[in-house]
Amino acid sequence: MDTMTADAIAREALLSRLRALLPAGSVLHTDEAQRPYECDGLTLFRQLPLATVLPSTEAELLAVVQVCRESKVPIVPRGAGTGLSGGATPHAQGVLLSTAKMSAILAIDPVARTARVQPGVRNLAISEAAAKHGLYYAPDPSSQIACSIGGNVAENSGGVHCLKYGLTVHNVLRVRAVTIDGEVVEFGGGALDSPGLDLLAVLIGSEGMLAITTEVTVKLIPRPQLARCIMASFGDVGVAGDAVAALIAAGIIPAGLEMMDQPATRMVEPFANAGYDLDAAAILLCEADGTPEEVEEEIAHMSEVLRAAGATGLRVSASESERLRFWAGRKNAFPAAGRVSPDYYCMDGTIPRRRLGEMLRAIQQMEAKYDMRCPNVFHAGDGNLHPLILFDANDPSSLARAEAFGADILELCVRLGGTVTGEHGVGIEKINQMCVQFPADEREQFFGVKRAFDPHGLLNPGKCIPTLHRCAEYGRMKVHGGALPHPGLDRF
């Protein structure tokens, strides 16, 4: 019997076991049916899995995990598939497990200010359901209309308001999850802490590699009575960066603090009609929220600091619709990039804020070096950059240059004292840059964490933490000046 046949027989056996566990239509195996699952938001990498399963209940999900463990088949969990780092890129020999059918809001407790939801619930749906109690769920990634809370837990997602309100890890009280051992485990709980090690902290942001989330309890907080946003214009991006430091030094923690450079505002404006100052070299969006008195006091204080820091113009949102328009422009930056260019590559490095001017100048030089455009949007409050490299995937040279450009940016982030990913995750996209950020001993300790939860390495294998071998190979490639930082998927 040749190997192909053996593989095909093994696949048939797996499919028939999965079909016996799940209702009809919840196990997909044809290329056509699985096509929507071949990539997540990182569309550079596409791969069809052996099978795609869509459990509707925790019991079904648990049964799938049991079968996969017994058959030694890798599992790649997937939320809404909006992730930008390939965390949900399927495994060629694995099962893709989508939580899309587990999308019920199980309970909202307005007194305890919590929501208990299944992993497939959309981020924004939680806030919509809590709105009648004057409450909301704070983390608001740009994809919040579509992204799921299970995916947010896997990536430790942020958003434009996390400087003041925190990331997913600060807003989740409890995760119920299925381990590869086939056990249902509660991490965290209804109280503010749990006995023993803080495993919830390490589970959040673990990119589906430690356990599969089946239920999440999130904190809800009171919706501020009022929010207003300042749009400040600057003649120079470095001056805008210094203005951010000046705000923080003045003891202000804005509810949101975002920067966009001129290429970004000009890219977004025709798309979003946000009312941005297109003549400014950079704009800052700076938001205050709270009681009307508090907002008035804070807007006055912020305006004073921004003017002193060299803002050439300030516009304060006069209405809720104008404020939302300011934000709509920022939140639509990625779709806008998709409109002006056949493809875009969104980077996610974080740097200490004081290095911002240096970073933006380096990106300008890289634009010249690679002959590509790269508008910048930036969570200025927390140092998280989103340069958007515009390219054409149908042109192999353009793709290769975009990838090399991206790798340069990420490695500069590490050199400036930052990190290769602030909120999008490592996935497969930044796995080579992890070799730059973490020495071998640290990476081996990460594998130790992985083994503690998943001794056989079946949950989302090959993502997030590069092997020693892979880093050695990447090192050689760099030495030889290879242009392609992403070798084929078969290496993962």
Partner 1 sequence: MADALMEQVRAAFEGGQRLHIRGGGTKDWYGEAPTGGTTPVLDTRGHAGIVAYDPSELVVTARCGTPLAELEVTLAANGQMLACEPPHFGPGATIGGCVAAGLSGPRRASAGSIRDFVLGAKLLNGRGQHLAFGGQVIKNVAGYDVSRLLAGSLGILGVITEVSLKVVPMPVAEATLRFDGIAQHEALERLNRWAGQPLPVSASAWADDTLHLRLSGAAAAIRAARHALGGDPLDAADAAAFWRELREQSAPFFAGDQPLWRMSVPSAVPPLEPDGGLPAAQLLEWGGALRWVRSAQPADVLRAAAREAGGHATLFRRGRSAAAQGAQPGCFAPLEPALLRIHQRLKAEFDPAGVFNHGRLYPGL
Number of residues that bind partner 1 (CB under 8 A): 96
Looking at the Cβ atoms of 297 and 371, the one nearer to partner 1 is 297
Per CB under 8 A, does 411 bind partner 1?
no
Looking at the Cβ atoms of 424 and 470, the one nearer to partner 1 is 424
- Pick the binder of partner 1 from 34, 127, 144, 156 (CB under 8 A): 156
- Pick the binder of partner 1 from 81, 119, 205, 461 (CB under 8 A): 205
Residues of this chain, 241-260, that bind partner 1 according to CB under 8 A: 245-246, 248-249, 251-253
Residues 6+ apart with CB under 8 A from 243: 232, 234, 284, 305, 306, 309, 310, 311
Residue 2 tokens, joined: 């040749």
Per CB under 8 A, does 448 bind partner 1?
yes
- Pick the binder of partner 1 from 151, 256, 425, 485 (CB under 8 A): 425
- Pick the binder of partner 1 from 40, 60, 155, 411 (CB under 8 A): 155
Looking at the Cβ atoms of 351 and 363, the one nearer to partner 1 is 351
Per CB under 8 A, does 437 bind partner 1?
yes
In angstroms, what is the minimal distance from the CB of 483 to partner 1? 24
Per CB under 8 A, does 320 bind partner 1?
no
Per CB under 8 A, does 69 bind partner 1?
no
Per CB under 8 A, does 15 bind partner 1?
no
Is 223 exposed, middle or buried (CB count within 10 Å of its CB: 0-12, 13-18, 19+)?
middle
Q: Select the span of 75-83, 194-202, 357-365, 386-394 touching partner 1 (CB under 8 A).
A: 194-202
Three-point CA angle 318, 322, 324, nearest 5°: 130
Q: What is the CA radius of gyration of the chain?
A: 23
CB 120 within 8 A of CB 148: yes
Which runs of consecutive H residues, i.e. helices, occur in 54-146? 58-71, 123-130
In angstroms, what is the minimal distance from the CB of 113 to partner 1? 6
In angstroms, what is the minimal distance from the CB of 408 to partner 1? 17
Per CB under 8 A, does 183 bind partner 1?
yes
Give the DSSP letter string of 1-34.
--HHHHHHHHHHHHHHHHHHHS-TTSEE-SHHHH
Q: Where are the beta strands (DSSP E) in 252-309?
A: 256-261, 282-290
Q: Give the type of residue at 103.
A: S
Per CB under 8 A, does 9 bind partner 1?
no
Strand partners, 177: 185, 213
Per CB under 8 A, does 197 bind partner 1?
yes
Residues of this chain, 72-131, that bind partner 1 according to CB under 8 A: 109-114
In angstroms, what is the minimal distance from the CB of 11 to partner 1? 31
Per CB under 8 A, does 423 bind partner 1?
yes
Q: Select the span of 73-81, 93-101, 270-278, 417-425 touching partner 1 (CB under 8 A).
A: 417-425
Cα separation, 460 vs 105, in Å, equals 26
- Pick the binder of partner 1 from 15, 44, 202, 393 (CB under 8 A): 202
Cα separation, 226 vs 246, in Å, equals 24
Looking at the Cβ atoms of 140 and 155, the one nearer to partner 1 is 155
Residues 6+ apart with CB under 8 A from 381: 163, 244, 248, 253, 254, 256, 257, 258
Q: CA 352 from chain center: how many Å?
A: 19
Per CB under 8 A, does 296 bind partner 1?
yes
Per CB under 8 A, does 7 bind partner 1?
no
Residues of this chain, 346-375, that bind partner 1 according to CB under 8 A: 350-354
Residues of this chain, 24-63, that bind partner 1 according to CB under 8 A: none
Strand partners, 282: 234, 261
CB 473 within 8 A of CB 484: no
CB 220 within 8 A of CB 136: yes
Per CB under 8 A, does 193 bind partner 1?
yes
